[in-house]
């Protein structure tokens, strides 16, 4: 059911000024929108993404674009709109509107208010992913304003809850509003960007990602007083189970998408590093080389094997009490070359005999998007024309995005924003003082529009 803006007066009061100031270009207008959008509080938890629905709904109304929305739970709003075109497979521009929390004590400015300083825009979500979302929205609006005939439908979708797994957002829409995605052939999401490397720029287009498989490990023992140790202790048992996993790292597997990614990076490298990345599987036969890679780049090391990281622990609530139960939660990420059931079997085998049980909390399915498509070709052509000397590589991420929901539907999905960003700015993702270079972002807005136009106009 469409969310009525009249019921959200407080939000409207904060956005009524959008667009009143004349903007010379769509890029300038987009910056105004982004500045306002950062101030729309969608921190997850709890999310409150219906505030983002009100924000986008107001802009769509001003453009005369019909839209619809649905709440998966009170306050967890999702919004979508469609520009109708020809019979070619539809293109979806998707974004999530929730952001992770930010501790203002560790920021140099208010994280919930866009602050412009020294050519940068600071605020929670400017990178992940309100900046990319507004860039996509600006393209969507530009297509509507042009009034040119489209060779396919273009669908704008903004979802809730990606930062917590997408159950109230993209996953919910796939299940409860499948008509949004019917007839879609391509999808553009977050996940890749441009990185300056020496004298060139490498554009990485995310085509697959490591598959999350999350576990809860549980040990049960005999409770008692801390002053009288027993042979059985749930905490000790749990620690033994964790040690069994930690002391048996999964073997190196440089699968085809990762090998292509490493070889692409090698093009801008020299010497020993170039040789290593050109033959990562061979180089990592040496355990010392594995350790060196992990020290140099934990993310690249993580792309060469399945990994598990214990992130939560709980046992007694009193220092002098031995608890009956101890548990840990473990974030495992597996390479996308086998089903998640295989990793579950691996974990159970490692825990056999320890007294620790493993419960699967979440597991996605693996998938890889092909690169021989009109959308990938448009990305390659536009970036080559506008960034001379640059090149495009198929990318892989250690984290996950909502794209996996749509790869499961057979929709070719790419994570890409042509924003060119130095590696030091990447620390802002989920970090303190998240920022983006305004000039680079405006160029990215223009590049996004050019890429989409190449796909949707004959």
Residue ranges of E strands in 100-161: 115-117, 120-122, 152-159
Are the C-beta atoms of residues 116 and 420 closer than 8 Å to each other? no
CA-based end-to-end distance of the chain: 35
Asked if pLDDT for residue 10 goes beyond 90, the answer is: no
CA separation for the pair 253, 441 (Å, rounded): 36
What predicted TM-score, i.e. pTM, was given to this entire model?
0.89
Are the C-beta atoms of residues 36 and 63 closer than 8 Å to each other? no
How confident is the model at residue 22, as a pLDDT? 52
> Regarding predicted confidence, which is higher, 5 or 117?
117
Closest by Cα among 149, 327, 104 to 237 = 327
Asked if pLDDT for residue 232 goes beyond 90, the answer is: no
Q: Looking at residues 130-137, what average pLDDT do you find? A: 98
- Nearby residues of 185 by Cβ (< 8 Å), 6 or more positions away: 88, 89, 90, 91, 152, 411, 412
Q: Name the token pair of 320.
A: 């002098």
Q: Looking at residues 245-253, what average pLDDT do you find? A: 96
Tell me the average pLDDT of the chain: 94
CA separation for the pair 35, 42 (Å, rounded): 14
Asked if pLDDT for residue 162 goes beyond 70, the answer is: yes
Question: What structural domains does the chain harbor?
Answer: 5-191+401-456 (3.40.630.10), 211-255+276-363 (3.30.70.360)
Exposed, middle or buried, 215 (CB in 10 Å: 0-12/13-18/19+)? buried
Q: Name the token pair of 36.
A: 């306002």
Name the residue with tokens 């223009």: 446
Q: Name the token pair of 377.
A: 């070709």
Could you report the per-residue pLDDT of 341-389, keeping only the tens digit for each?
999 999 999 999 999 999 999 999 999 999 999 999 999 999 999 999 9
Q: Name the token pair of 204.
A: 């990485």
Q: Looking at residues 119-139, what average pLDDT do you find? A: 98
Quote the percentage of the chain above a pLDDT of 90: 91
Q: Name the token pair of 238.
A: 């749990």
């Amino acid at each position: 059911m469409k969310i009525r803006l009249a019921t959200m007066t407080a939000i409207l009061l904060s956005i009524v000024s959008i667009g009143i100031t004349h903007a010379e270009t769509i890029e300038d207008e987009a910056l105004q929108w982004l500045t306002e959008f950062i101030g729309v509080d969608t921190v997850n938890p709890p999310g409150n993404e219906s505030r983002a629905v009100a924000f986008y709904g107001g802009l769509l109304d001003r453009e005369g674009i019909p839209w619809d929305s649905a709440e998966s739970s009170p306050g967890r709003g999702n919004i979508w709109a469609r520009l109708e075109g020809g019979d070619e497979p539809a293109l979806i521009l998707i974004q999530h509107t929730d952001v992770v929390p930010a501790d203002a004590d560790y920021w140099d400015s208010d994280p919930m208010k866009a602050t412009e300083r020294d050519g940068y825009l600071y605020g929670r979500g400017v990178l992940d992913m309100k900046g990319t979302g507004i860039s996509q929205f600006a393209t969507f609006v530009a297509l509507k304003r042009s009034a040119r005939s489209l060779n396919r439908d273009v669908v704008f979708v903004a979802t809730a809850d990606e930062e917590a797994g997408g159950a109230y957002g993209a996953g919910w829409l796939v299940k409860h509003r499948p008509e949004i995605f019917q007839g879609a052939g391509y999808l553009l999401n977050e996940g890749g960007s441009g990185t300056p490397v020496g004298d060139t720029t490498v554009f990485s287009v995310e085509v697959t990602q490591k598959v999350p498989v999350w576990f809860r490990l549980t040990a049960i023992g005999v409770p008692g007083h801390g002053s009288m140790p027993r042979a059985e202790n749930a905490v000790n048992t749990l620690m033994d189970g964790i040690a069994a996993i930690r002391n048996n790292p999964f073997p190196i597997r440089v699968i085809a998408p990762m090998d292509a990614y490493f070889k692409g990076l090698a093009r801008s490298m020299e010497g020993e590093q170039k040789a290593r990345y050109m033959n990562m599987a061979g180089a990592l036969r040496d355990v010392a080389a594995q350790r060196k890679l992990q020290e140099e780049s934990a993310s690249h090391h993580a792309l060469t094997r399945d990994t598990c990281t214990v992130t939560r622990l709980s046992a007694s609530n009193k220092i002098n009490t031995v608890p009956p139960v101890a548990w840990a939660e473990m974030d495992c990420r597996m390479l996308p070359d086998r089903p998640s059931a295989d990793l579950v079997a691996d974990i159970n085998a490692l825990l056999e005999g320890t007294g620790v049980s493993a419960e699967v909390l979440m597991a996605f399915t693996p998938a890889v998007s092909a690169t021989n498509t009109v959308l990938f070709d448009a990305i390659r052509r536009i970036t080559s024309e506008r960034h001379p000397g640059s090149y495009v590589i198929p990318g892989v991420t250690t984290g996950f995005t909502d794209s996996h929901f749509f790869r499961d539907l057979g929709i070719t999905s790419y994570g890409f924003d042509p924003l060119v960003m130095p590696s030091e700015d990447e620390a802002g993702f989920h970090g303190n003082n998240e920022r983006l270079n305004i000039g680079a972002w405006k160029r990215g807005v223009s590049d996004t529009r050019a890429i989409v136009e190449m796909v949707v106009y004959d």
